[in-house]
Chain A
Amino acid sequence: MRVAVIGAGVIGLSSALCIHEQFHGLLPSLELEVYADHFTPHTTSDGAAGLWQPYLSDHGNLQETLWNKETFDYLLGHLHSPAAKEMGLFLISGYNLFTEPVPDPSWKNIVLGFRNLTPKELELFPGYSYGWFNTALMLEGRSYLPWLTNRLTQRGVKFFHKKVESFQEVSGDGVDVVLNCSGMRAGDLQPDPQLQPARGQIIKVLAPWVKHFIITHDLKSGIYTSPYVIPGSEFTVLGGICQHGNWSTENSAKDHKSIWDSCCRLLPALQKAKIVGEWSGLRPARPSVRLERESVRLGNLQAEVIHNYGHGGFGITIHWGCATAAARLFGSILQERKQLATPAGPRL
């Protein structure tokens, strides 16, 4: 049984690991191959700050809230393991700020210690009159992706540096299942008008005195269009850009100024912070995550494709829930092909 995984961001690698962990024991013939044009540290997941936090509202998408919860609980369970540091996993607390009262988010009971801000705390943030404080997790892509890669390599998973142009390209060689984790470029493999870039730009600075994340919100202009500050283990990320439909991955001077000015207004001490980098990336935005099976006829072959893309600005937040869901879809494929029942039987 050969499985081709397209994409080596957090979604591709975690789905691959989850499937291998769950099925390799039952199916020793299982061979996984990861194909990607970009590997860590050049994926979208590497550029993300790594904060676990869903959007403010799940728009009734209860399934995504459950996947978020599953991811948080899974990571929390690993917090005290010796692997935590290598994974880039640690606890972080911080502030979400608003200019008006808002309903509590879908994730208020998933994170730890969720509460409203007190008047004295709001004094720290002139211009904001309402907010939340909670403890969440950081999972830094620059550490997590190499950790996933090591786990996969140990399990004998092979990696191929290749831009896949079609499902046919990877399924032709006796590959039974394709795991499509191609993120922003899923549309190149199969047109999907619902998938659009939500371009972000970030400035990396050295500001080690900042110990909290601070996310401001402008409800009119949308998520991540308002300044945010996220302290990592090596540098702090300043952001506040989310441009729908913009495919450019070039850093924009105008966006730089907007991020810098607004973050320094939020935290005056940042004026003294040293800038150590800048990056632009495309959040693979979609009204909902596409996580489903599809039978694809390619020539005279039938392949099963498991789509797992469109995680927007919450890929890290939702990744493990989606990985286990993808693994369940894989399991159902195996059931149908009776691969699990009779490993020695003829292959369909």
Chain B
Amino acid sequence: MASPKVAVVGAGVIGLSTALCITETCPSCSVTVLSDQFSPNTTSDVAAGMLIPHTYPDTPIHRQKQWFKETFTYLFAISNSVEASEAGIHLVSGWQVYKSTPKEELPFWSDIVLGFRLMSEAELQKFPQHRFGQAFTTLKCDCPPYLLWLEKRLKATGTQMYTRKVADLWELHSEYDIIVNCTGMGARQLVGDKQLFPVRGQVLKVHAPWVKHFIRDGDGLTYIYPGVHRVTLGGTREKGSWSLSPDAGTTRDIFDRCCSLEPSLQGAQDIEVKMGLRPSRQCVRVQGEVLSQGGVKLPVVHNYGHGAGGFSVHRGTANEAAHLVGECISALQGSLSRAKL
């Protein structure tokens, strides 16, 4: 197989980063990205893009840690380079505060982020309702810039990108040798995965350029994440809700909760409300599968179900998916040689 044709379905952070990894590990591959949505209309565009991992209940911790470490290392290098501003990658310091001391004082990722330590009494004075906190420095991927930067890198490798709604993976079998399924929430319909469920998030994106730190309540519901131009205020975690309409009461509630953590946000301007459905699953599905229909085989690599932690592990899962694509190619080449005998 001279030039395996790979179709990556999905153009959020997972689809684009997976496509890029494939071009890096398999330069002879011809990669095409197909998606019904591109930036700025993907779920990734709503997310703040903070590198603070979400813990998946059914994925082994060492694997999550490896994914996070690879992602952090990759982005750390970009943040330190001349491309940082174009890619929307920047360092940000701040605090995760808890109203009561958590069971786990040191999360699994505490040695991967920078300068992790427990907050001092003096620092906690800023948060009168909270009794415990962690201070650290991490990275943030601003979207759309990060997605646009990935698209630019992909175009430079000759990758084609098309707006196309794929209703069935089998539509693609005559044009492509391998399909990579990075459809996020769309996988529920596309491959019938009932283990995938939405967790609705509503956020506000505001203009408050004096806010230089992130602040996150350990309960995960209230957070303030300063991006390049806007600060993301969150949020909600509504399991099972499919609604992409803004809720005015929720907007008020998010604003109030964030102002209670950071009073200066009262002066925030240009409030935009955004909604997204976190494509949630007990474990991220990074897995190869060979579909079979009427004697025809279609190799598929799945990379979806990142829920609230997509940005934190995207590069790690993209590397793993690209590796699985490599295995598919070897298997295909193997069966081609066998066919020739």
Contacts and interface: CB of A to CB of B under 8 A. Distances in A.
B85 A113 contact: no
Interface in A242-271: 268-269, 271
Interface in B136-161: 137, 142
Interface stretch (A76-84, A167-175, A308-316, A320-328): A76-84
A79 B80 CA distance: 31
B267 interface: yes
Given A118-B114, A133-B115, A212-B93, A92 B212 contact: yes
B81 interface: yes
A121 B83 contact: no
Q: Which of A123, A138, A212 has the most CB of B within 10 A?
A: A212
Contacts of A85: 210, 264, 266-267
Contacts of A121: 114-115, 137
A211 B90 contact: yes
A269 B78 CA distance: 9
Given A90-B212, A115-B117, A231-B212, A212 B91 contact: yes
Interface in B176-233: 209-213, 226, 228-229
A234 interface: yes
A208 B229 contact: yes
A208 B126 contact: no
A209 B90 contact: yes
A276 interface: no
Interface residues of A, number: 36
A303 interface: no
B123 interface: yes
Contact of A211 (B86, B92, B117, B264): B92
Contact of A234 (B85, B135, B209): B209
B120 A113 contact: yes
B49 interface: no
B119 interface: yes
A271 B82 contact: yes
Given A135-B123, A269-B83, A211 B93 contact: yes
A272 interface: yes
Given A113-B119, A211-B93, A91 B213 contact: yes
Interface string A82-111: 101100001111000000000000000000
Contacts of B316: none
Nearest to B88: A209
A164 interface: no
B248 interface: no
Nearest to B82: A268
Contacts of B209: 208, 233-234
A269 B212 contact: no
Interface of A: 79-82, 84-85, 90-93, 112-113, 115, 117-118, 120-121, 123-124, 133, 135, 138, 207-212, 231, 233-234, 268-269, 271-273
Interface of B: 79-86, 88-93, 114-115, 117, 119-120, 122-123, 126, 135, 137, 142, 209-213, 226, 228-229, 263-264, 266-267
Given A118-B115, A273-B85, 14 more contacts: A81-B263, A82-B266, A90-B211, A92-B212, A112-B123, A113-B122, A121-B114, A121-B137, A212-B91, A212-B212, A231-B212, A268-B80, A269-B79, A272-B85
